[in-house]
Structure 1
Amino acid sequence: MILLGITSSSRGMEFSISNLFVNINVFNGLLGQSFKMEPTPTTIRMFLYLLLFIQGTIFNTAFVTYLQTLKATPTLKNPILTLDDMREANLKFALIKEEEDLIKTQYLLSGYETVCQSMEADEFYHRRNGFDTQYAYTVPSDRWNVYKEQQRYFLKPKFRMTGICFAKMVGVTIPLQLNSPYKNAIDAMIGRLNEGGIIEYWKSLAFWEAVKKKEMSLIDTSQRFTFVPMKLEDMRLLWLLFGYMLSLMGLCFVFEIFWYYKGLRLCW
């Protein structure tokens, strides 16, 4: 805009501060609309016109693509990071009754009662393994890796891990006696296994072992969005609105003619 204003003033045109910062021709070019050009522009103004054309093409292409994305897939909701977010989303998390008793006795998390739904262990595991989206579920980190691997074969993941944690536990431990002479050797062995990636490899095999044992399934339970081609009946509302506007325009035109001839009669 500033370059257009400077080049306009250099050619003897009327200089305006408003056109320097708010130039309607620039906005029209960015929106892909037509705008007035000089019959014999200078080289720099031709370059500016070319930049406006390229920028308008890029802007409109990106905008149309963005709108098509919103039309094809719904916008994402705010992520649930705290218990307050769960209350606002009107979502509860399922919990086994025995685990709820443990949480109550050890005060692991306060204020969870309003968003918690306790149930029996069989029902809990059945819902969680079936990816029932009615509730959120507590899950250990190692077990979540299995669910995460399973959801890779879904059309769209149904669950994700949050940072809400009841209790942090040690990942890999071996029970030993107090002051055991093997403690240092076992700690060194576990450290070497972690450094070599052996434990992560074992965790990755857990999913396929569960599939082989038929404890987990690769059946996609995510919701599938089907696209229906547009039909002529879908444009019915638009055609009715278009006909209504044409009728209104016709009435306005007849009223203008009537008013015009009425004014001529009054003049006579």
Structure 2
Amino acid sequence: MASGWLILILGCFGQLSAMNVSIPSEELELQDRLLRVLARLRLEEQFNTLLIYGNECIFHSLLRHLVIPTVVVTSGSTDFDWNFSSSTLILSCAPEADREENPVTLMKLQRTRRLISLQNAVSTCESICHQYSLKEQHNVAIIKTNFDQSDIIYSCRFFQRPNHQEVHFFADQPIYIENFRNMHGAEIRTIPDYLTPRTMMYRDKKSGESRIMGYLANVLNTYAEKVNAKVRIENATKLGVKKASVGEILRGAQEELLDIGTALASSLQVKNMSFITYPYILTGYCLMIPVPAKLPYNQVYSMIVDTVVLSIIFALFCIFSLLIVYTQNLSWRNLTLANILLNDKSLRGLLGQSFPFPPNPSKHLKLIIFILCFASVMITTMYESYLQAYFTQPPSEPYIRSFRDIANFSIKVALSRIEANVLTSVNSTHFREISKDHLLILENWPEYLILRDSFNTSFIFPVSVDRWDCYEAQQKLFSEPAFYLSDLCFNKLMFFSLPVRKYLPHRHLFEDHMMRQHEFGLVAFWKTRSFYDMVQLGLASIRDYSQKRQTDGSLLLDDISWILKLYSMAIGISICCFILEISGCIKLWERLWRCQRLRRAQ
């Protein structure tokens, strides 16, 4: 049995020896050099998957020596989406072997390094690098058939002339470089939406050119400085409009009319994430509600009166009346409904007024009078404190607590047609809770922004939390805040991203730069400076838009109108009772009542 396995192993070695003998020594040398190239590339940047495009070539002869997963695409295009999370190296048997048409795979492998085998002298390195640059694939290197003798690799250089560089394999030079770390003054096309304070236009005094600033525009400006590029502001007429909105800038990115849009598209608007960057801002989308007006002074008296407290005071009044009636004669003989409800001592005592004290009172009556006086001090002090506090700072009218509460107020929610369409498309439940009668939808987007920036307290406005920060800074200059940010949010977790061209080759560098600005706190700093930048450019004023309450030095007659009305009513009732008592009507009613009782008793 052991001899049989030995014969089988020797036979396998014989076949391998025969195969090696059949391969020319030049090809073996080229294979050895290519394996060294792959080893060096793996040291420079780790990869764990190989993708080979094209028919049989020298790369296919390496398959039996490779120890990493390899995918061979002889047709030049994959039928599946390349969703592997692994890093990949692409080997092409010829410049025209890579005919990838799958958009998902193209985007996934756009930045992947490519090594091309040039087997004929028809194509030149110049034309090959230009051809791949048209497809916006710039990590390209080329080897020729005499690579085993020359050890020269031709690496494409996008911003250089000529557009390729000879790199000796044994020289200390990188084969692949990040071409877009220095763009040599190339232009980055953008179209701003000019929404303050994100993007604001101004004219540079030195150069006379139009420039943009703001906490969104600054990210693009600093990125252009970092990669040695220039921001070119395209005219909105390129999109067929006078002033571009977010939706139109998104359309411009999809049609490749711009590289990076200076606008913010929300996660509610965009379904295809290929045309937006990594989220720039994480924020909420809530309602900006006018601060409720202060109650007029004539309603303060009714505010300090609580039904429960009045019930407790009335119960104390009845208890004190009962105790006073009983302790005067230690008997219930004088206990009547009139002596309880119209007890002069108890009523005047609770109101903090003086009342006649009976001569030679008992200890029990003294104790009751003492408790009554203590209760009057507590009640009058409490109400006086409430009254003075509310006169100093009157309470506000009711706040809006839910979306359904909007229907109970004479105020409407003003929003643009774009926002209404987005909220309708995502089937927002909160938006459906607002009745149509309390909605004001403005077709013109700039008109809506002017209305919101004017702090018109006749409307409620939806606003993102990052935009509210600017409004809040502006309201610090007001005598009183005009609006407050409520907890009524259509979406508390919403991403805002920049529109970007789908196959932008330096997209990863821009996203890395954007996240670094957040990490260093520059975005937060720019946002805090937004309002002052607007004032500097004349886009905002320090005018007080709040409706300051006119206060006089003293109370007016209208402020105590309720007190006067109640006082007049009480005086009228007292006069009527006095007239009835003088005219003897009460005694007459008492006689009639006694006669009726006698008749019933008989």
Q: TM-score, normalised by structure 2?
A: 0.31
CA contact (8 A) 2:580 2:586 kept: no
Q: Does 1:252 align with 2:580?
A: yes
Q: 1:100 Cα deviation (Å)?
A: 1.8
Contact 1:94 1:117 in 2 (8 A): yes
**Do structure 1's residue 123 and structure 2's residue 447 form an aligned pair?**
yes
In structure 1, the residue matched to 2:519 is 191
Equivalent positions of 1:116-265 (< 5 A) are: 116-119=439-442, 120-167=444-491, 168-170=493-495, 180=508, 187=515, 190-193=518-521, 199-223=523-547, 224-227=549-552, 229-230=555-556, 244=572, 248=576, 251-252=579-580, 254-256=582-584
**1:66-81 correspondence runs (5 A):** 66-70=386-390, 75-81=395-401
Cα-to-partner distance string for 1:54-106 (whole Å, 9 max, x where unaligned): x7545423312323454566543332232211122243211111222222233
Q: Deviations over 1:183-207 (max 9, x none)?
A: 66864652342xxxx5444322212
1:199 to 1:64, Cα distance in 2 relative to 1, 3 A: farther
C-alpha spacing 1:241/1:155, structure 2 compared with 1 (3 Å): same
**Mapped contact 2:517–2:523 kept (Cα < 8 A):** no
CA deviations on 1:127-162 (whole Å, 9 max, x unpaired) are: 211111221111121221121222233232221112
Aligned residue for 1:225, secondary structure, equals coil
Of 54, 62, 65, 2:385 maps to: 65
Q: Residue 117 of structure 1: CA displacement?
A: 1.5
Conserved 8 A contact 2:407-2:435? no
Question: Offset of 1:245 from its aligned partner?
Answer: 5.8
**Matches of 1:118 and 1:138 in 2, distance apart?**
12
1:99–1:29 CA distance, 2 compared to 1 (3 A):
same
Please identify which structure carries the higher helix content: 1
CA distance in 2, matches of 1:57, 1:240: 26
Alpha-carbon separation, structure 2, partners of 1:239 and 1:164? 44
Contact 2:414 / 2:439 at 8 angstroms: preserved in 1? yes
Deviates more, 1:28-37 or 1:141-150: 28-37
Gaps of 5+ in 2: 1-315, 317-329, 331-342, 592-602
Change (3 A) 1:213 1:58: farther
> Partner residue of 1:104?
424
Q: Which amino acid aligns with 2:583?
A: F
Letter in 2 for 1:66: Y
Identity of aligned residues (%): 22
The answer on whether the counterparts of 1:32 and 1:60 sit within 8 Å (CA) in structure 2 is yes
Matched letter for residue 61 of structure 1: T
Gaps of 5+ in 1: 2-13, 15-23, 264-268
Paired residues for 1:40-51 under 5 Å: none
Q: Quickly say closer, same or farther: Cα 1:58–1:178, change in 2 above 3 A.
A: farther
User: Using the alignment, how far apart are the partners of 2:556 and 2:538 within structure 1?
Assistant: 42
Q: Which is further off, 135-144 or 113-122?
A: 113-122
1:95 alignment partner, SS class: strand
Residues 192 and 75 of structure 1: is their aligned pair in 2 closer, same or farther, counting only changes over 3 Å?
same
Q: Name the CA distance, whole Å, in 2 between partners of 1:62 and 1:243.
A: 26
Partners of 1:30 and 1:257 lie apart in 2 by: 31
Aligned partner of 1:6 in structure 2 is none
Q: Distance in 1 between matches of 2:505 and 2:481?
A: 43
Paired position in structure 1 for 2:287? none
More strand by share: 2
Asked if the contact 1:95/1:117 (under 8 Å) is kept, the reply is yes
How many matched pairs? Answer: 236
Counterpart amino acid of 1:216? Answer: A
With over 3 angstroms needed to count, the CA separation of the structure-2 counterparts of 1:188 and 1:240, relative to structure 1, is closer
Residue 26 to residue 94, structure 1, CA distance change in 2 (3 Å): same
Separation in structure 1 between the aligned mates of residue 346 and residue 410 of structure 2, nearest angstrom: 47
Displacement of 1:174 in angstroms is 10
TM-score, normalization by structure 1: 0.61
